[in-house]
Structures are given as C-alpha cells and as structure tokens.
Amino acid sequence: MSFEVVPAGPSHGPGLLALFQRTGSPCHCRWWHFDGDKNAWLDRCANRASESRAELAARVAEGHAEARGVVAVDADQAVVGWMKVCEALTVPKLFEQRLYKGLACFDGDRSSTWVIGCFLIDEPWRRRGVARALLAGGIELARNSGATHVEAFPRRAEDVPAEQLWTGPSAIFDALGFTTVHDFAPYPVLRLTLRSGSAG
C-alpha cells in the first residue's frame, strides 16, 4: 500500500469530502472556525453536518487559509489521510480554551507560528506510517510558507483508541523533534523550532 503526502489544494476537495464521509466524521474540520459553544457544535454535528461539509468544500475550493493542510493520497489518487496545519492566528478559538488561555508560552509575536490542528486517516491506512508522513509534510509546508515554529497539542494517555487521537499520537511529534513547552496532561503544548524568531 503506497501513498504520498502533498499540500492540500482545490483538486483534493472531492476526495477530502469523501474521506470525511467514509470515516463517519461530521465535523469536516470546522470546529476551530465555529462561532457557537460546544452544545451548539454537537447539535450541528448531529443534525446539520451538511453545513460543515459545505463550508469545508468552499474553503478548499478557494484555497482559503482555514483549509490549509496536507493530504495523503494513494496510488489511485484517493485521499486516505488529512492533517490540518495553518497559521496560529487562523485558529484563535484554540488558544481561548480554558486549558491554554493566558499561557506564557503563547506570549510574543505569533504571526509566524503555525499549528497542527487535527488528523483524519482512513481506517485501513491507520498504523501504517501515514500520520508521521502527514506530520513531516505539514512541517515542510509550514517551513516553505515562512513559519518559524510549529505547535502541536497531542493527547498523552495510555491505550487511547485510534479514533480519539485526532490531535495526533504523541510519539510521532517526539520522533520529529518537537519539545514540550507546557506540560499539561493530557494535552501538553509541543513546539518545533524551524528557524529563529519569537514564539513565547
């Protein structure tokens, strides 16, 4: 089973939507851009997932900053994996959460800091190195886009089912050189420095 990782673009839109459908994921990577609270979000996922689907389709088609990421495509060019990676300033909701709000590690100029938002991998492709390849591809995308740092928020816990590792398995971040800048179980803040610049 071979695959390659490439930056997500408009041509990947249909395949990306198909991936969300196959995996039964109603979020369509819109939580960080949703204005309502968690209850409103759960209602949307349960009853109006088509709204999130339409938003993702539109953002990918126009190359919007909210749809930045990398995809894993198989030999038939089907999208079998997705990782959201974008500028930190694109997802202010992430840093307004109770766990992370006001942390000193987020002080300073954030304009060149990128973040890993989430992973989604087709079930037959899990535990085949796709997540690590997506992370490596996302780091390269961030570096080529002028990022100085990439941050991640993986879940660190024992025996976590694959479907709950949507922020990525922590081992792949350790393997690719991320370090802990705020150790808060179960979601520590990790950071990889790409080049000199301020980020907390």
Q: Which residue has the higher pLDDT, 101 or 82?
A: 82
Sort strands 179-182 and 189-193 into parallel, antiparallel or unpaired. antiparallel
Which class is 3-193 in CATH? alpha beta
How much is the average pLDDT of 157-180?
Answer: 82
What pTM, to 2 d.p., does this model score? 0.92
Every domain of the chain and the residues it spans? 3-193
Name the percent of the chain lying above pLDDT 90: 80
Q: What does the alpha-carbon distance between residue 108 and residue 151 come to, in Å, rounded to a whole number?
A: 14
Q: What does the alpha-carbon distance between residue 133 and residue 160 come to, in Å, rounded to a whole number?
A: 20
